[in-house]
């Protein structure tokens, strides 16, 4: 029996629709600029580069319906509506056809971002870690096993629509994202992939509630105080 010098942290996990069981989270990978209009609104050419990735810690996960504190060290705190893909099998160097076999299910998610810290990091050519991987920065709705199809993805802030697109607007579809990522790391059960956000990202203020809806999935809702 392994003895630790202090109790290990609780296992991060995500709710599953219509189940008391939960999905254990191993790692969270995020795809940057996977919608053309979002790439343009951030000042980039959507055709100029292959997929690139950043990460969030597993314990950044927050269940839908939670209330979180406005994060420290920012005055420009943003929402980003995203489709989340849950990985349920091991895989390395996969083709796009093989990639489907790794998918356990899907969820709606919100990739919360400290945009001012990200902008400063970009300007200084430094890593984005503290703009993306801070505490309670990954709001994820309940996972649903099975296929998703070409669904709508929408973000509302206090009921006002801020982002509205379709999953087919992705530059790199889910299978292509999984295939590309599997050439960089071996994917494993418990990995989550946040697949990028459409145009329309913007700030959340204290007292506001942000809701991410993807057709066919449970919403990802968060309130900020």
The answer to whether the Cα torsion of 128, 131, 133, 134 is positive or negative is positive
State residue 48's pLDDT score. Answer: 55
Domains of the chain: total: 1
**Separation of alpha carbons 89 and 193, rounded Å:** 13
CA 17 to chain centre: 18
Instruction: Determine, yes or no, domain membership for 2.
Output: no
**Tens digit of pLDDT at every position of the chain (225 positions):** 899 999 999 999 999 999 999 999 999 999 988 987 655 655 556 665 788 899 999 999 999 999 999 999 999 999 999 999 999 999 999 999 999 999 999 999 999 999 999 999 999 999 989 999 999 999 999 999 988 999 999 999 999 999 999 999 999 999 999 999 999 999 999 999 999 999 999 999 999 999 999 999 999 999 999
* 199 and 171 Cβ atoms separated by less than 8 Å: no
State residue 39's pLDDT score. Answer: 54
63: domain range? Answer: 20-224
**Tokens standing for 148?**
């998703």
**Tokens standing for 128?**
């984005």
Instruction: Determine, yes or no, domain membership for 116.
Output: yes
Q: Which 8-state DSSP code applies to residue 220?
A: E
Instruction: Determine, yes or no, domain membership for 6.
Output: no
The CATH number for 205's domain is 3.90.850.10
State residue 44's pLDDT score. Answer: 57
State residue 42's pLDDT score. Answer: 54
State residue 33's pLDDT score. Answer: 85
């Amino acid at each position: 029996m392994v003895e630790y010098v202090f109790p290990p942290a609780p296992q991060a996990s995500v709710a599953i629709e219509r189940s008391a069981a939960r999905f254990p989270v191993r790692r969270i990978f995020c795809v940057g600029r996977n919608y053309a209009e979002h790439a343009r609104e951030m000042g980039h050419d959507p055709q100029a580069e292959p997929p690139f990735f950043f990460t969030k810690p597993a314990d950044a996960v927050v269940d839908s319906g939670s209330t979180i504190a406005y994060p420290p060290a920012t005055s420009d705190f943003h929402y980003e509506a995203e489709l989340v893909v849950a990985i349920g099998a091991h895989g390395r160097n996969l083709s796009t056809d093989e990639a489907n076999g790794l998918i356990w299910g899907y969820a709606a998610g919100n990739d919360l971002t400290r945009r001012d810290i990200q902008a400063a990091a970009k300007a200084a050519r430094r890593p984005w870690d503290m703009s993306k991987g801070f505490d309670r920065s990954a709001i994820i709705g309940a996972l649903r096993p099975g296929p998703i199809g070409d669904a709508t993805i929408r973000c509302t802030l206090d009921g006002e629509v801020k982002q509205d697109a379709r999953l087919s607007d992705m530059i790199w579809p889910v299978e292509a994202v999984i295939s590309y990522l599997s050439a960089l790391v071996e994917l494993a059960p418990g990995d989550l992939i946040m697949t990028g956000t459409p145009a329309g990202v913007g700030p959340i203020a204290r007292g506001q509630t942000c809701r991410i809806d993807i057709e066919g999935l449970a919403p990802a809702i968060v309130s900020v105080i």
